[in-house]
Amino acid sequence: MSPKARIALVEDDIFVQSDLQHSLEEAGFRVLFTAATASEAQAYLSQSMPDLVLLDIQLADGSTGLEVAQWLRSNAPQVPFLYLTAQRDAATRQEALATLPALYLTKPVFTPDLLTNIELLLQQQQYSAKPSSEGGKETRPELEQATSSVLQIDLLRHVFFIQKEYLFIKKEGAFERLPLSSLVYLEADGGSHSRLYTRQGDNLMLSAGFSKLLQKLPQPPFCRISRKHVVRLDQVERFSDGHVTLQGMDLPLGPTYRSEFLKGMTEV
């Protein structure tokens, strides 16, 4: 949990606003301010800057959360914001995404899911702001790249994402963390599922295509050895021209992948 992270809540429905504020404070966050209009939010933001802003789109007095988002982009681009809205139409969504939010969620949202996403966004913000190894200056990924990676967390569309040394898998509406170091190998299971085998002997099914998962994994230490298998190279116990052994399991080493596998074994 990010200790006392400051969150601004821009929502015109007093009942939704009250429920959200209660949930956030109960979870350990500090609600810096609440606002029901764009002008009110901008006035508060001019005086005190939060760590994260939650925005509804349709606000009181005819203003919108898009106006607040544009103000943030111009005046405080370092502050992430997410939309929490009942607007589901494609036109509104596209207009909102054009402001480059960290996330776009539609109401109603399961509270634990919302809190998980908030915590992950704050963690990513802290990680992005760490001093770089060169020059000691604070760095932040390019806006488009950061937004793209965070959008993978969209609860309505995605079931996993990777953050540093961890794989987060969606289970029963919430994301659970699995260390990448605990994985031994992965296996394609049809066109839309993958199986993950861990050092603890677990066999986990992931509702995500094998190729999509492979694109997100760091290579090395992960390496594809056949059409159906990806292994963690530092878990290899034995290999030959046609097989790779991990935890006593022999997996095929395809000719197409042999060269890359051998190269990877010398790099881990």
**Taking residues 84-109, what's their average pLDDT?**
85
Strands 81-85 and 52-55: parallel
For residue 239, the tally of other CB atoms under 10 A from its CB is 20
The model's pLDDT over 163-208, given as tens digits with 9 standing for 90+, comes to: 668 887 776 666 778 888 888 998 887 666 788 888 888 787 777 6
Quick one: pLDDT at residue 92?
87
Q: Which of 11, 47, 7 is nearest to 28 (CA)?
A: 7
Report percent pLDDT > 70 for the chain. Answer: 80
Please give the mean pLDDT across all residues of the chain: 80
Which pLDDT band, with edges at 50, 70 and 90, does 6 fall under?
very high
Bigger pLDDT: 58 vs 219: 58
Helix residue ranges per DSSP H, the chain:
14-26, 38-47, 65-75, 90-97, 111-128, 143-151, 210-216, 255-265
Bigger pLDDT: 124 vs 235: 235
Bigger pLDDT: 127 vs 234: 234
Bigger pLDDT: 151 vs 243: 243
Tell me if 131 sits within 8 A of 138, measured CB to CB. Answer: yes
The pTM for the full model equals 0.51
* Domain 6-158: CATH class, spelled out: alpha beta
**Taking residues 259-265, what's their average pLDDT?**
88
Which pLDDT band, with edges at 50, 70 and 90, does 49 fall under?
very high
Tell me if 169 sits within 8 A of 206, measured CB to CB. Answer: yes
114-124: buried (b, 16+ CB within 10 Å) or exposed (e) per residue?
Answer: bbbbbbbbbeb
Q: Which fold has domain 179-265?
A: OB fold (Dihydrolipoamide Acetyltransferase, E2P) (2.40.50)
For residue 45, the tally of other CB atoms under 10 A from its CB is 22
Quick one: pLDDT at residue 140?
43
Q: At what angle do helices 65-75 and 90-97 cross, to 10 degrees?
A: 20
Quick one: pLDDT at residue 209?
67
Quick one: pLDDT at residue 155?
38
Position 238 pLDDT exceeds 60: yes
Which pLDDT band, with edges at 50, 70 and 90, does 69 fall under?
very high
- Residue 220: asked if its preceding bond is cis (omega within 30°), the reply is yes
Strands 6-10 and 160-163: unpaired
Which pLDDT band, with edges at 50, 70 and 90, does 266 fall under?
confident
Distance CA 217, CA 260 (A): 15
Quick one: pLDDT at residue 135?
46
The model's pLDDT over 141-154, given as tens digits with 9 standing for 90+, comes to: 443 443 433 344 34
Least confident piece of the model among 47-56, 129-138, 217-226, 247-256? 129-138
Distance CA 16, CA 120 (A): 22
For residue 169, the tally of other CB atoms under 10 A from its CB is 19
Element (H, E) at 185: strand 183-188
- List the domain boundaries for the chain: 6-158, 179-265
Least confident piece of the model among 47-51, 116-120, 223-227? 116-120
**Taking residues 120-145, what's their average pLDDT?**
54
